[in-house]
Amino acid sequence: MSDRDTPLDGGDTVDPPRGFVDQANVTNERIHEEFDEGWPECWERAADLLDWSEPWTKVLNDDDAPFYEWFVDGTLNAAYNCVDRHVESGRKSHAAIKWEGKLGETRTYTYQDLYREVNEFAAALRGLGVEEDDVVTLYMPVIPELPIAMLACARIGAPHSVVFAGLSGKALGTRIERADSEYLVTCDGYYRRGNAFNLKNKADDALLKVDHDVRSVVVDRLGETLPHTIDDADRDYHELLDEHAGATVDPVPRSAEDMLFLMYTSGTTGEPKGVEHTTGGYLSQVAWTSHAVLDLEPADMYWCSADIGWITGHSYIVYGPLTLGTTTMLYEGSPDYPERDRVWDIVERNAVDVFYTAPTAIRSFMKWGEEYPESHDLSSLRLLGTVGEPIGPRAWNWYYEHVGNGECPIVDTWWQTETGAMMVTTLPGVDPMKPGAAGPALPGTDLDIVGSDGSSVAEGESGYLSITRPWPAMVRSLYDDEDRFIEEYWTETDDGWRYETGDRARIDADGYVSVLGRVDDVLTVGGVRIEITRVESTIAGVDGVVEAAVVAGANNMLYAYVSTESGRMGDDALRDLINETVERSIGTVATPLRIVFTTELPKTRSGKIMRRLLESVTNGEPLGDTSALRNPESVGELQAAIRDR
């Protein structure tokens, strides 16, 4: 293994390509210092990207920490900022949303089209009885009606709670019940790899378990393809639009601190948490990071390949790009259907400027081979981004060379559902990149890596990543559970409050953070603490390996699930090389008891490996709820492999 392949070591430094810097939105080399010196007023630069109905009187109120308030007394409307102001400034016919459906359909909504439909649906929601502050649940695949429903809710001041369409009816029911939500917008079904799936039946099941009445609106996505029930209480989305054709609804001015949406964290483990985001602070930071990190401009064709049901989709498919008046692409399909060049085909056909995806997708692209991106003209790309998991130097370099052609900076953005917006990343027009390290803290934020006693660890040592200053897009509370909010996230210190991210990380002399994984991914074997993510990244750095997940069995031994480049499955030489590499870099305690080769690891829709499931597979236990899985077919293969040993 060359140095360059050592996983997560943040080896070489790569300067942002000159051609990019020359046109970047933010090139001020003093920006980190300026934000630092002028904190918290520095955040007014973010808020100034928005139109406010009433200005704020104070940037930050910390009287009741850790219940912070941002842009106190300011009022604004998120839908107005995402839609109306672009129409009013003469950009009616500019494309707002470009949609690519599963069957190859495309639809384009100009800002004027978006204005019309958001208004009509807002009027329809009001007609159904939705009032300001009522939570509306949205359960839909990536179709334009989903962002339209989100914006219609925002227009009338009704917080939305989007539940990812891949989650089970049971999960939907729990979320509706907990949020006391009396309205549901859903869809008859969706396509997956060309097959129709019924979503309405799942929604109906969910409602059977909810104690209060729920009014549903159903979008017809499939036509006659799948029979589903529309009972008397349900309303058809398009019929409602017809009834309210041409209606307009004044955007409701919301206080900066009013809830814009509620998002239940998908949680690969544990109980879902209802994360509350507000209107002013959230929208300000999301707009600012879209401008400064994603470098978005109105003229851009921008594509974030996440699902809207994930926080990434909320912040960086819907609110960020639309606030800036950009064209945002929505893609309903899979990256390899009908062919493995689907993503590059979309980039080429739409001349995508900025592409934002997850390391798990990049590792799949790597596995499929560079011939797929190379068979397309990707020269329209200007900036690449990643989010969701650590991207090791190997995948980083591959993305940089084969997708970006060495000309596009990569922003490796660390953040969470709870942070609402990006928190750790390079600014592409300012900071050098270090493959394997996400970057420094975003200007206006501050972090620390602490040990279990709460004091800062030495440079290069791993510890708990914590955030030491409030930031505008921060989670305000957990729905109906302020005690749990404090207990889950906050520690009081001599200097105030520290937000605990639940991630392990280390920091280098330049302040660059390498995120190592979740805190709970630590195993003690024979008194030695082993960071499971370190074992994983070591295995992932071996030539021939695409991705690795390591879990502890009930016997407290490690099991490695490894996906390989094609043709290397069952390759004993590769198995030996993995064992030797782990032994050399970490020690024999960390060598897995078994290495199971597989074509694909089981993942959630947002690309996170489902370790809980792998543990059950390892221990031969029942699998529990697998509805969050993107690739359920991967599980059978693993169960078979672990059985016939």
Q: Is 255 in the site for ligand 6R9 (CB under 6 A)?
A: no
Report d(CA 511, CA 305) in Å as an integer. Answer: 29
- Does residue 162 bind ligand 6R9 (CB under 6 A)? no
537 binds ligand 6R9 (CB under 6 A): no
Q: Is the distance from CB of 424 to CB of 440 less than 8 angstroms? A: yes
Cα separations (Å) of 260 from 159, 190, 352?
Answer: 5, 27, 29
Which CB sits closer to ligand 6R9, 501 or 618?
A: 501
- Residue number with CB closer to ligand 6R9 (414 or 464): 414
Closer of 395 and 595 to ligand 6R9 (Cβ): 395
| 459 close to 508: Cβ distance less than 8 angstroms | yes
385 binds ligand 6R9 (CB under 6 A): no
390 binds ligand 6R9 (CB under 6 A): yes
Beta strand 106-110 with 95-100 is: antiparallel
* Residue with token string 């520095």: 42
Shortest distance in whole angstroms from residue 416 CB to ligand 6R9: 4
Instruction: Assess contact for 109 and 144: CB atoms under 8 A.
Output: yes
Min separation Cβ 436 and ligand 6R9, Å: 10
Residue 207 Cβ, how far from ligand 6R9 at the closest point, in Å? 26
Residues in a beta bridge with 561: 549, 596
| Minimum distance from residue 400 beta carbon to ligand 6R9 (Å) | 15
CB of 590 closer than 8 Å to CB of 582:
yes
- Classify 232 in phi/psi space as left (phi over 0), alpha (psi -120 to 50) or beta: alpha
The encoded tokens of residue 298 equal 């109105």
Question: Order of strands, edge to edge, in the sheet holding 410-412?
Answer: 106-110, 95-100, 327-331, 301-304, 354-357, 383-386, 410-412
Under the criterion CB under 6 A, does residue 389 sit at the interface with ligand 6R9? yes
When the beta carbons of 123 and 362 are compared against ligand 6R9, the nearer one is 362
Q: Residues touching ligand 6R9: how many (CB under 6 A)?
A: 19
Residues 38-67 that bind ligand 6R9 (CB under 6 A): none
Residue type, 250: D
Distance CA 188, CA 217 (A): 10
- Report, in Å, the least distance between residue 196 CB and ligand 6R9: 28
Residue with smaller CB distance to ligand 6R9, 257 or 389: 389
Instruction: Return the number of the residue (207 or 330) whose C-beta is nearest ligand 6R9.
Output: 330
From residue 401 to residue 430, what is the string marking binding to ligand 6R9 with x (rule CB under 6 A)? Answer: -----------xxxxxx-------------
The one among 122, 301, 430, 438 contacting ligand 6R9 by CB under 6 A: 438
The distance of closest approach from Cβ of residue 513 to ligand 6R9 in the complex, given in angstroms and rounded to an integer, is: 9
Q: Which of 581, 606, 616, 618 binds ligand 6R9 (CB under 6 A)?
A: 606
Within 453-512, the residues that bind ligand 6R9 by CB under 6 A are 501, 503
Question: Running DSSP on this structure, what letter comes out for residue 84?
Answer: I
Q: Is 201 exposed, middle or buried (0-12, 13-18, 19+ CB in 10 A)?
A: middle
Q: Give min distance, CB of 7 to ligand 6R9, in A.
A: 12
Q: Is 531 in the site for ligand 6R9 (CB under 6 A)?
A: no
Q: How far apart are CA 470 and CA 486, in angstroms?
A: 14
How many whole angstroms separate alpha carbon 71 and alpha carbon 43? 9
Of residues 188 and 503, the one with the C-beta less far from ligand 6R9? 503
- Binding of ligand 6R9 by 289 (CB under 6 A): no
Residue 141 CB coordination number (10 Å)? 27
The contact set with ligand 6R9 (CB under 6 A) reads 265, 311-312, 387-390, 412-417, 438, 501, 503, 515, 518, 606
